[in-house]
Amino acid sequence: MAAELLRFPDRTSATGKEIDAYLRKEVELSDEGVHQLFSRNRWEKAAEMRELLLGGTTLVVDRYAHSGVAFSAAKDVPGMDVEWCRAPDAGLPAPDALFLLQISPEAAATRGGFGEERYETSDFQKAVAEQFLSLRDDTWRVVEAARPIEAVHAEISELALAEVGRCQAGGVPLRDLW
Ligand code: FDM
Ligand code: MG
């Protein structure tokens, strides 16, 4: 089975470098502007993702447009409601399965490096978690992440492999967001 791992933001491209500097608090950008930048960072990969998917490669994607909506909407900026936040990602390839790794902000804060980047405060993480739960529909699987990595891996790989099997059996068209 061919599979590739992608991660968003992809911090290697020009947009990704700007996002990286923003997350590391080296530059300031408007909330609206950085939201668009995160989306552009995904659109840069859209054609490549589509080609890989249509060729039968499974994509494992660490964060995607749903993070874009949840993090930006959690800022509670006037005008940046969920509908506004979704708009720039409309038309990107949609995932066949989505796993939300759930962890309390308290448990997350004990993990290595927490607090270094923008967004890594317990209050903001709570607001983001609420957004994720309100965006969730019944195609999402919520996975308890405050467990040893092997247990999280076992649960996700079982669910993911079942989904891959369903897609490989055919009849699952490539859909677009949203
Ligand atoms: N993030 C990630 C956003 O705010 N918008 C997005 O579209 C995406 C993909 O960036 F705080 C946030 C989520 C997180 C940070 O950190 C990226 P990681 O640890 O590299 O996922
Ligand atoms: Mg991080």
Ligand 1 pocket, residue 119 CB under 6 Å: yes
> Identity (one letter) of the amino acid at 130?
E
Number of C-alpha atoms within 13 angstroms, CB side, residue 44? Answer: 17
- The pLDDT of residue 139: 85
- pTM of the complete model: 0.96
What does the pLDDT read at residue 113?
Answer: 87
Q: Would you state the pLDDT for residue 170?
A: 86
Q: For residue 25, which ligand has an atom nearest its CA?
A: 1
Ligand 2 centroid to Cα of residue 21, in Å, is 13
75 touches ligand 1 (CB under 6 Å): no
Residues in contact with 178: Cβ distance below 8 Å, sequence separation at least 6, in sequence order: 86, 89, 90, 94
Residue closest by Cα to atom 16 of ligand 1: 9
Helix and strand numbers, DSSP H then E, in the chain? 8, 4
The span from the CA of 117 to the CA of 107, in Å, is 17
Question: Which residue's CA is the nearest one to ligand 1's atom 17?
Answer: 9
Residue 155 CA to chain centroid, in angstroms? 19
Rounded alpha-carbon distances, angstroms, from residue 149 to 6, 110, 129, 169: 19, 15, 20, 30
Contact in structure between 92 and 44 (CB atoms under 8 Å) = no
Task: Judge whether 87 and 111 are in contact, CB under 8 Å.
Answer: no
Give the mutation target among 12, 32, 63 for probing the ligand 1 site: most ligand atoms within 8 A of CB: 63
pLDDT at residue 152, as a whole number: 97
Cβ(36) to ligand 1 under 6 A?
A: no
Which ligand 1 atom lies nearest to the CA of residue 38?
7
Looking at residue 112, its pLDDT comes to 84
Ligand with an atom nearest the CA of residue 22? 1
Nearest to 143 by CA among 92, 101, 95, 105: 101
10, 17, 23, 44: which to mutate for ligand 1, most atoms within 8 A of CB? Answer: 23
Task: Point out the ligand 1 atom lying closest to the alpha carbon of residue 63.
Answer: 9
**Residue 133: in which H helix or E strand, if any?**
helix 122-135
Closest residue to atom 20 of ligand 1, CA basis:
9
What pLDDT, on the 0 to 100 scale, is given for residue 142?
96
| Token pair recorded at residue 125 | 């993480």
pLDDT, residue 102, reads 95
Give the DSSP H or E segment for 16.
helix 14-23
- Does ligand 1 have an atom closer than 6 angstroms to the CB of 68? yes
pLDDT in tens, the chain (178 residues): 799 999 999 999 999 999 999 999 999 999 999 999 999 999 999 999 999 999 999 999 999 999 999 999 999 999 999 999 999 999 999 999 999 999 998 898 888 888 899 999 999 999 999 999 999 998 899 999 999 999 999 999 999 999 999 998 988 999 999 9
